[in-house]
Amino acid sequence: MYQKLAFLLLTFCLSTPETLSSDPDPVQDFCIPNTIYPTTTSKLTLVPCKNPKLVTPEDFVFSGIKSPGNFSDTGLSAIPVNPSTFPGLNTLGMSFVRADLKPGGVNPPHSHPRATETVYVLRGKVYSGFVDSTNRVFAKVIERGDVMVFPRGLVHFQMNVGKSPATVFGCFNSQNPGMQKIPNVVFGSGINDELLEKAFGLSLRQISTMRRRFLPRKWLN
């Protein structure tokens, strides 16, 4: 049932006029990257396309979101799907994600600098919303069958407020939407301690505690 609903949402994403508005328009029907070349999401458009005669239906099918992935400490499991994992999306101007939330689990405030996101609730009850450039919050509890949109670049968030697991499907109008998690950006990017102390009214000890939580391990060693 959930897979069928996800397929319907994916079809909706593909048929939406805005789907290709974020990334450059393709100049061919499709471009399956030649797998003999190393690929990253941001550089896939520079990789030669596979000979169309060698392309098969399997190149356009992805089966990696049938089940939740690993859960984080916040109770979130997110499986992003972009051309790096699903080459059939390459040059089509879109990507998507499956997110699962344990009861009480949260998807911390974050933003996607290169894409608008549409989310569809497959199951559960999720407190979901975003903050605009005037710091006004647009949030409400959405349930199975509801759709919500997060405008490009704006900070947004989700929390499972139900008593059972929740699953949402997100669709982006970019094959490489990017992500900036607010806690990681503030405390995990190496911003000067004195600046953070003055900006947030935190002590150096508190800042150090937050850094240990969000700084990449290689920076702490």
Say if CB 51 and CB 80 are below 8 A apart: no
Tell me the average pLDDT across 146-154.
97
Q: Could you give the percent of the chain with pLDDT greater than 90?
A: 67
| Cα–Cα dist 18/66, whole Å | 27
Q: What's the full length of the chain, in residues? A: 221
pLDDT value, residue 20: 45
pTM of the model: 0.81
Tell me the average pLDDT across 8-19.
54
For the chain, residues classed under CATH 2.60.120.10 are 2-178
Whether residue 9 is predicted with pLDDT greater than 70 in this model: the reply is: no
Query: What is each CA distance from 172 to 125, 187, 206, in whole angstroms?
Result: 22, 27, 36
Average pLDDT value over all residues in the chain: 87
Looking at residue 143, the DSSP 8-state letter turns out to be E
| Cα–Cα dist 174/51, whole Å | 24
- CB burial readout 131-150, b (16+ within 10 A) else e: beeeeeeeeeebebeeebeb
Element (H, E) at 89: none
Whether residue 98 is predicted with pLDDT greater than 70 in this model: the reply is: yes
C-alpha closest to that of 174 among 114, 124, 126: 114
pLDDT value, residue 19: 46
Say if CB 18 and CB 110 are below 8 A apart: no
Tell me the average pLDDT across 20-41.
72
Burial of 17 (C-beta count, 10 Å sphere; 0-12/13-18/19+): exposed
Write down the architecture of domain 2-178 according to CATH. Answer: Sandwich (2.60)
